[in-house]
Chains A and B, each alone.
Chain A
Amino acid sequence: MSDVRLQIKNVSKTFGITKAVQDVSFDVMKGEVHALIGENGSGKSTLTNMLTGIYTIGGGTFILDGKEVRPKNQVEANNEGISIIVQELGTLSGLTVAENIFLGHEDMFVKAGVKNTNAMNRKATELLEQYGFGRIKAAAMIDDYNFEDRKLIEIVKATYFNPKVVVIDETTTALSQEGREVLYKHMNRIRSEGNTVIFISHDLPEVLAKSDSITVLRDGVYIDTVKSAEVTEDDLKKLMVGREVSGAYYRADYDEEVSDEVVLSVKGVTVPGQIKDVSFELHKGEILGFGGLSESGMHEVGKAIFGASFDRQGEVRLADGTEINDIPTAIKSSIAYTSKNRDTESVVMNQGIGDNICLPSLDSLLNGFKLLTKKKMREFSNKYAEEMSVKMVNVDQFVSDLSGGNKQKVVLARWIGRDADILVLDSPTRGIDIKVKQDIYQLMDRMRKSGKSIIMISEELMELIGMCDRIIIMKDGEISGELSRSRDMDENSLIAKMV
């Protein structure tokens, strides 16, 4: 048993009414990439957050190299040889790159009570160069770097001290292809040094390709641990969902003609520092994809169409001549938008599901006295929440209680309730499990068939290829190419235009 690095024994955790993790036990070996998969809310992050001191341990024990660990915070976890790269931003604004890397471990550079900033910066520069991120300056403020670079800095922060276990929690969804390759390289390095990576991801092909063994959780319960080499993607889906995943995933059709009718035309749209001279047309019943690296400007295109860009030049015009320059006009003109930043820009977190769904449709819910009644709002939100099969107790429940997939369903229910004709969906399946992903793809297909037009912005090349009639590729803020739907399209033909 000397190969066992980490034993997880009967670990549990409850949050109020939710049993997030129930009596989970399994072993993680030395020198392996051990993937942890499961649908949203299956307890993956909760489990690793207990291991890394972000949450307190609810019950059970973690045994690292034969010794129980019970870290109270991330710094203690680091001292035990455990670190984590979190899903969202794990670096602190207002500090320098070096200060972030050595956060909680400044003592290394303290002599007689005084911090030697130069020594810290020198050490950080050395590390950054060693990792191949020489262009990042140790003394610069972390805020000078974008999301992607900050993730790279986190890789350094989490691994420079050769921890025995590194948890990587759904980091890849936020990274571009380039960033992912860097991350994979370091995962391999950690493994080859005999240390262990616990890798959480929703991307099953990625999990199969990059991990040695895979543990599946479902509803907080341990299901199985399998060897990556011995299973297929479908086996994993079956384990995660608990039944055979039936039906088509993406669209099945290939030769349908898209209508010539233009519903939205974008001409010469520029947002300083983000996108340059972007022009395209969207047709009725079309799914138009936007692909590119995260920083290519494609996310800004979605905002620009919805009137949400700051300081936009150029023209966004509907078929009837209406110009879209602000959000209220966009919504009035039947345009819907789901943001990549779901929690801050799509759902009002500390508000009920019902109000969230009703928000843009309030005018249509007024009664004879031009007043809104709770009853009518309730009926309306219930109808669309049920149509989207949102998992909830009732519509009064706060959105902040819901999982990522359910939040996205609430956002979609809102726009279906508004009966929007043009949907701008930015990263609609980001961080969402297979079952809900499938629901969303099928919904998009139904909407397309009923004559709605969809713009889908995504970093997942496979879903763009699977769902779109046309794909526009963005690079450095400009359109770098366009591809039409075909069976032969593969990721490489897209990547070629992206980088």
Chain B
Amino acid sequence: METTKAVSKEKEMKMLSVVSTLRAVLPIVGLVVVFILFNVLTAGRMIQNMKLVLSQVYVTLIAAMGVFFIMTMGGLDFSQGSIMGMASIVICAVSKTSIPLGIIMGILTGAAIGTINGFFHVKMKIKSFIVTICTMFLFRGLIKYLASDAPVGGSALLMNYDTTAFKLIITVIVLLIGFIAFNYTKFGIYLKAIGAGEMAAKFAGIRTGKMKFLIYVLSGAITGFAAFINVIKVGSATTNSGNQLETQILIALVLGGMPISGGAKVRFMNIVVGSLLYIVLSSGLTMMGLDTQTMQLIQGVVFLVFVAVFADRESLQVIK
């Protein structure tokens, strides 16, 4: 009894903060460990093909930012893959007329689907995961209708943009804007407040309904923009464009240490670390020669383990 009393409160607080720092650095440590591990396992092939590995990360990084905002508010979005697919088709079709117009139309397509999500979630008060699963199926159906006879080809000029420098710069700019907005403006604090307690956020003067609606539109628009990066790589849109992007993003964010219920504990870093960790993991597994089925299985297990370990059970009930 005496010895336990001797442990002062401050010391215990310090221990708690050590635990929380550990949580924060764990994804980074994981990234380094996984990276080294795959380099060893593939005899350095990963580092030699780094450009190829990274070429897949840009789309995930950009699209994950929109979902990050949604999840910070305690929502979910499963329609990202279909948004990506629809926007890819639109960009390809319009790019034959004008590439800048194609980019704009892609963003608008994403924003339009985001508007549908926002309308049904906020105005009709349906849980976000139900709404977005519905739009996921709805637009995947539409994509299949539009692209099943033949892939929608884009302008040949699209390929000109497919350089690492271009993609890297665009991604950095988008993330930088998001980073500043999230950490240094009201935007981020409001999002976290809504995730941590929506009713109280409303009573503190935040227009929560409007905010939620706009975030769904914004997230759609961001993914619509990411679709441009997607099409310059392949030059056309198929029925599979953007397939399973939503799962990739969700796994990436959770691997990055993001609490699945959002709120005050999210960090912008979750997007970057998570996306990189996901890409390293999936390309590593591909290089090891695993087939898609096995990879999906492994991803499922990793995802489940991370959610089980990191989920903040007290606030899980707030997922909207």
Q: Chain A residues in contact with chain B, CB under 8 A?
A: 16-17, 23, 306, 308, 327-328, 330-332, 337, 339, 344-352, 355-356, 358-360, 362-363, 370-373, 393, 398, 400, 414
Given the known A-B contacts A348-B193, A355-B189, are A371 and B203 also in contact in the complex, defined by CB atoms under 8 Å? no
Report the bound CA distance from A360 to B196 in whole Å.
16
Q: List 8 A-B contacts (CB under 8 A).
A: A16-B16, A306-B203, A331-B204, A339-B203, A344-B197, A347-B200, A363-B186, A398-B264
Interchain CA distance A366-B195 in the complex, whole Å:
23
Contact in complex: B189, A362 (CB < 8 Å): yes
In the complex, per-residue mask of B195-231: 1 if CB is within 8 Å of any chain A CB, else 0: 1110111111111000000000000000000000000
Hey, which bits of chain B sit against chain A, CB under 8 A?
A: 1, 9, 12-13, 16, 180, 184-186, 189, 192-193, 195-197, 199-207, 263-265, 314-315
Contacts of B16 in A (CB 8 A): 16-17
- CB neighbours of B195 from chain A (8 A): 350
- 8 tightest Cβ-Cβ pairs between the two chains A and B: A348-B197, A350-B196, A331-B205, A17-B12, A351-B196, A371-B184, A359-B204, A351-B264
B192 near A346: Cβ-Cβ < 8 Å: no
> Shortest beta-carbon distance, B304 to chain A, in Å?
24
- Give the complex CA separation of A352 and B16 in angstroms: 15
Identify 8 new A-B residue pairs, CB closer than 8 A, beyond the known A348-B264, A351-B196, A362-B189. Answer: A327-B203, A345-B200, A349-B200, A350-B197, A350-B263, A351-B263, A359-B189, A400-B314
Given A17-B13, A350-B263, A372-B186, check contact A355 B193 (CB 8 Å).
yes
List residues of chain A with CB within 8 A of the CB of B263: 350-351
Tell me the interface secondary structure of chain B in the complex.
helix
Residue in B closest to A360 when the chains form the complex, CB atoms: B205
Query: Contact between B192 and A351 (Cβ–Cβ < 8 Å)?
Result: yes
Contacts of B200 on A, CB cut-off 8 Å? Answer: 344-349
In the bound assembly, the distance between CA atoms of A275 and B243 in angstroms comes to 53
CB-CB nearest in chain B for A418: B205
Least Cβ distance of A102 to chain B in Å?
26
Q: Is the CB of A414 within 8 A of B203?
A: no
- Residue from the set B196, B201, B202, B204 with the largest chain A CB neighbour count within 10 Å: B204
Residue of B nearest to A308 (CB): B203
Inter-subunit contact A349/B205 (CB<8 Å): no
CB pair B184–A348 under 8 Å, yes or no, is no
Contact B185 A372, beta carbon cutoff 8 Å: yes
Name the A residues within 8 Å of B12 (CB-CB). Answer: 16-17
Which of chain B's residues has its CB closest to A344's CB?
B199
A74 to B207, CA, bound (A): 41
Measured CB to CB, the closest approach of chain B to A25, in angstroms, equals 14
**Residue ID in chain B nearest A339 by CB atoms:** B203
Is there an interface contact between B196 and A349, defined as CB atoms closer than 8 Å?
Answer: yes
Q: Given contacts A16-B16, A17-B13, A23-B1, are A327 and B205 in contact (CB under 8 A)?
A: yes
Q: Please, how many angstroms separate the alpha-carbon atoms of A207 and B184 in the complex?
A: 51
| Contact flag A345-B199 (CB < 8 Å), given A351-B192, A355-B264 | yes
Q: Cβ of A359 and Cβ of B1 under 8 Å apart?
A: no
Q: Which of B13, B199, B202 contacts A393 (CB 8 A)?
A: B13
CA distance A330 to B195 in the complex (A): 23
Instruction: From A17, A308, A355, give the contact of B9 (CB < 8 A).
Output: A17
For residue A23, which residue of chain B has the nearest CB? B1
Q: A351-B197, A371-B185, A372-B189 are in contact. Are A346 and B264 (CB under 8 A)?
A: no
Q: How far is the CA of A347 from the CA of B207 in the complex (A)?
A: 16
Which single residue of chain A is at the shortest CB-CB distance from B9? Answer: A17
Name which residue of chain A comes closest to B261, CB basis.
Answer: A350
A351 — which chain B residues lie within 8 A by C-beta?
A: 192-193, 196-197, 263-264
User: Which residue, A346, A359, A400, has most C-beta atoms of chain B within 10 A?
Assistant: A359
**What are the residues of chain B within 8 A of A332 when measuring CB–CB?**
205
A327 & B202 in contact (Cβ 8 Å cutoff): yes
Q: A16-B16, A398-B264 are in contact. Are A359 and B193 (CB under 8 A)?
A: yes
Q: Shortest distance in angstroms between A222's beta carbon and chain B's nearest beta carbon?
A: 15
